Chain A
Amino acid sequence: METATLNNTSPKSNFKSEEYFINMGPQHPATHGVLRLLLTIDGEIIKKVEPDLGYIHRSIEKMCEKDSYQQIVHLTDRMDYLSSHINNEAVCLAVENALELEVPERVQVIRTILGELTRLSSHMLWWGVMGMDVGALTTYFYGFRDREMINDIFEETCGARLTMNYNIPGGLMHDIHPNFVKRVKEFIAHFKTKLPEYDRLLTGNVIFQKRTKGVGILSKEDAINFGASGPVARASGYSCDVRKYHPYSALDKVNFKEALDTAGDSFARYTVRIREMWESLSIIEQLIDNIPEGEHKVATNAVIKLPKGDFYQKVETARGELGVYIISTGTKNPHRVKFRSPGLSNLSLLNHIAVGGKIGDLVATMATIDIVVPDIDR
């Protein structure tokens, strides 16, 4: 009878499964950087996902308060490094708007072309990593083969392949390389034959579709409530493309369709990005033949002083809506800078959509959210 009394006193005596914790990260192949996920798991089923941030926090926003407006641009490269050009552009646009500076049309067109190239290169890397996360290692190399051409174009244009630093308040650091148009056209011709290859390798694969369809479903309401943006929100049917609703640079001169889906699952997020790649290609094609002649920058004061007030500019990076909020007191440094990064709000919904799935689902879902950890932590 002693066992019976023991059973009554011990809470663990009933034979049932227990939940346990797993640390996914900060060093883990699926977290794409130094992100730590605290998983509560019952067997294989995920009960709770708690992202733990701060491993790569560099207080970029605080550093901005000490820097001049030209210097701030360089810091933004290090946030979402895969959209570095677009980040630069966001700050430059905010400063130019505050100064009520009209940049030449040439600058606008070049900025848009480079922005779309950046988006393409980011999506290519995402596609490669997406395949890798669901176990198809080969996609990574296919994505990088095509990304290499874009990186070469960037290198020729501004000397850098990742952190571009090509934008300055008032225009571009220097004019484009004479080969630029030719090489971009070569790239478009090349990539138009390679993008269908992506579909043949991964999109149409039965296992891939089984892994992603109906997994990690995000409803439109939740997408709005969590502040999701970019392809994550558009896959849930929330039309939120900043390029459409608040066109900046030369984006009001081009025709493109906003990639929308209503399924809201991982596969929808995947196809939205693939369609975005086609749209980016079409935007570049529309602009590349008629880059207007002119200056590549307008002269600004060596020391830029913004007028007193609040200034906000948002752009569409490869991950979603990036907002730059500058509070100026009229001095050469901003009083306060806040970046509204798409990664943070997109990550916040991970717990909501991953609970109830398996560990494999979590990894696939996280890949479709496409987080860049330095963008989340800043």
Chain B
Amino acid sequence: MKILSINEWLLSFMPAGAASITEMVLIALIYLTVFAVLGLYLVLLERKVAAWFQLRLGPNRVGYKGMFQTLADALKLVSKELTGTVKADKFLYNLAPYFVIITALMALSVFPFTENLQAFDINIGLFFLIAISSIGVIGILLGGWGSNNKFALIGAMRSGVQTISYELSVGLSLLTMVILTGSLQLSEIIEVQKNGWLIVQGHIPAMIAFMIYMISGTAETNRAPFDMVEAESELGAGYHTEYSGMKFAYFFLAEFINMFIIAAIATTVFFGGWLSPFGITESIPFMGIFWFLAKTFVLVFLMMWFRWTFPRLRVDQLLTLEWKYLLPINLVNLVLMAVIVWLNITIQF
């Protein structure tokens, strides 16, 4: 609705080609700004949540309740000198942060924030998300390899092993839900959920898929308890040991935006996206944004809860968990979901 009208407004005074380019640039700028701020405030949220878990106050000096602390940190990172190692592979070393941050930002473009507020509604939306989030690991591998640092290399290799393994579980658990929706298009997936969120519609297999998704999603973002990649007590800082200033900030922001993406996918696929519970605010326009963000932030909080409670797994235990437990359960679950859809015993309102 909104974007449509911008399109019409632009078309009223410029040719079609120029209008669509202007539109793209405009939307890209809006997305960049919104997600830079989002990333920064997720950092602040994490620090606050960590403080609550750890009997501390957290940042509370800069601005009201520390609201500007994260902006001060960003300013510091931007103005910091970029140092690197002499023996680094310069090209790969400099390329790596962009891989990570660009893929993170690209993934955001397909989410429907509310009805019609969606940059791209492509018909393979879910597939696009899984595909794009797999590219991020290349950045981590490049960074670890290009840094010419053993700790970074170990971290990067761990990341490769971890992400490739858990990619399977993420994909399969989402595929389980696709059986139910019959579409990969995100707007379609939400349309289906007007008869009840998918986690309710698909009941038992959906719950299992959600749990597997959250576990493997946390692993994909390289966060505790799956932060083998950084593992500060083992590897110092892992793959970004040699990065400083804004390049480090790219890795750092990407981690938080990835966390948001994982939570947003879960919201869209399992919890009805921008749909309000029982349609209570259906008549109010743009309330969808509130519901979408509310659900997403509950899941983000869940992931932060994991991080500040659980110890870290060991690298072989991580792979055991994926290949011996999650993957077989996932495959059985996929069949179970297919049977449920075939026999039509889903719960619909």
**A358 pairs with B312, CB closer than 8 A:** no
Docked complex Cα distance between A211 and B154 (Å)? 19
B312 → chain A, closest Cβ, in Å? 3
**B311 pairs with A135, CB closer than 8 A:** yes
Q: Which of A141, A359, A360, A361 contacts B55 (CB 8 A)?
A: A141
**A136 pairs with B232, CB closer than 8 A:** no
Docked complex Cα distance between A54 and B224 (Å)? 34
CB of A131 closer than 8 Å to a CB of B: yes
Which B residues lie within 8 Å of A358 (CB)? 314-316
Docked complex Cα distance between A30 and B309 (Å)? 19
Q: Mark B88-116, 1 if CB is under 8 A from A, else 0.
A: 00000000000000000000000000000
Which A residues lie within 8 Å of B50 (CB)? 137
**B308 pairs with A360, CB closer than 8 A:** no
Which A residues lie within 8 Å of B55 (CB)? 141-142, 145
Docked complex Cα distance between A157 and B120 (Å)? 69
Which B residues lie within 8 Å of A211 (CB)? 311-314, 317
Which B residues lie within 8 Å of A135 (CB)? 224-225, 227, 231, 233, 310-312
Which A residues lie within 8 Å of B317 (CB)? 207, 210-211
Interface residues of B in 271-314 (CB under 8 A from A): 308-314
Which residue of A has the minimal Cβ distance to B228? A360
Which B residues lie within 8 Å of A28 (CB)? 236
Interface residues of B in 22-71 (CB under 8 A from A): 50, 53-56
**A141 pairs with B315, CB closer than 8 A:** no
Which A residues lie within 8 Å of B150 (CB)? 20, 22
Of B53, B308, B309, the most chain A CB neighbours within 10 A belong to B309
CB of B73 closer than 8 Å to a CB of A: no
Given contacts A22-B150, A358-B315, A360-B315, contact A30 B234 (CB under 8 A): yes
CB of A291 closer than 8 Å to a CB of B: no
How many chain B residues touch A (Cβ–Cβ < 8 Å)?
29
Which residue of A has the minimal Cβ distance to B230? A135
Interface residues of B in 202-240 (CB under 8 A from A): 224-225, 227-228, 231-236
Docked complex Cα distance between A140 and B50 (Å)? 12
Chain B contact residues: helix, strand, loop or mixed: helix
B158 → chain A, closest Cβ, in Å? 8
A18 → chain B, closest Cβ, in Å? 12
B160 → chain A, closest Cβ, in Å? 13
Given contacts A29-B232, A141-B54, A359-B234, contact A134 B312 (CB under 8 A): yes
A358 → chain B, closest Cβ, in Å? 6
How many chain A residues touch B (Cβ–Cβ < 8 Å)?
30
A25 → chain B, closest Cβ, in Å? 10
Which A residues lie within 8 Å of B235 (CB)? 359
CB of A101 closer than 8 Å to a CB of B: no
A41 → chain B, closest Cβ, in Å? 8
CB of B151 closer than 8 Å to a CB of A: yes
CB of A205 closer than 8 Å to a CB of B: yes
Which A residues lie within 8 Å of B313 (CB)? 207, 210-211
CB of A133 closer than 8 Å to a CB of B: yes
CB of A363 closer than 8 Å to a CB of B: yes
CB of A138 closer than 8 Å to a CB of B: yes
CB of A208 closer than 8 Å to a CB of B: yes
Which A residues lie within 8 Å of B54 (CB)? 137-138, 140-142
CB of A44 closer than 8 Å to a CB of B: yes
Which B residues lie within 8 Å of A133 (CB)? 233
A211 → chain B, closest Cβ, in Å? 6
Interface residues of A in 61-91 (CB under 8 A from B): none
**A136 pairs with B309, CB closer than 8 A:** yes
Which B residues lie within 8 Å of A136 (CB)? 309-312
Q: Which of B154, B224, B227, B311 contacts A44 (CB 8 A)?
A: B154
**B53 pairs with A138, CB closer than 8 A:** yes
CB of A202 closer than 8 Å to a CB of B: yes
Q: Which of A22, A140, A205 contacts B310 (CB 8 A)?
A: A205
**B310 pairs with A207, CB closer than 8 A:** yes
- Using CB atoms and an 8 Å cutoff, list the residues of chain A in contact with chain B: 20, 22, 28-30, 44, 131-138, 140-142, 145, 201-202, 205, 207-208, 210-211, 358-361, 363
A-B contact pairs, 21 of them (CB 8 A): A22-B151, A133-B233, A135-B227, A135-B311, A136-B309, A136-B310, A136-B311, A137-B54, A138-B53, A138-B54, A140-B54, A141-B55, A145-B55, A208-B311, A211-B311, A211-B312, A358-B314, A359-B154, A360-B312, A360-B315, A363-B234
Additional A-B contacts beyond A137-B50, A142-B54, A360-B234 (13; CB < 8 A): A30-B234, A44-B158, A44-B316, A135-B310, A138-B309, A141-B54, A205-B311, A207-B311, A208-B311, A210-B314, A211-B311, A358-B315, A358-B316
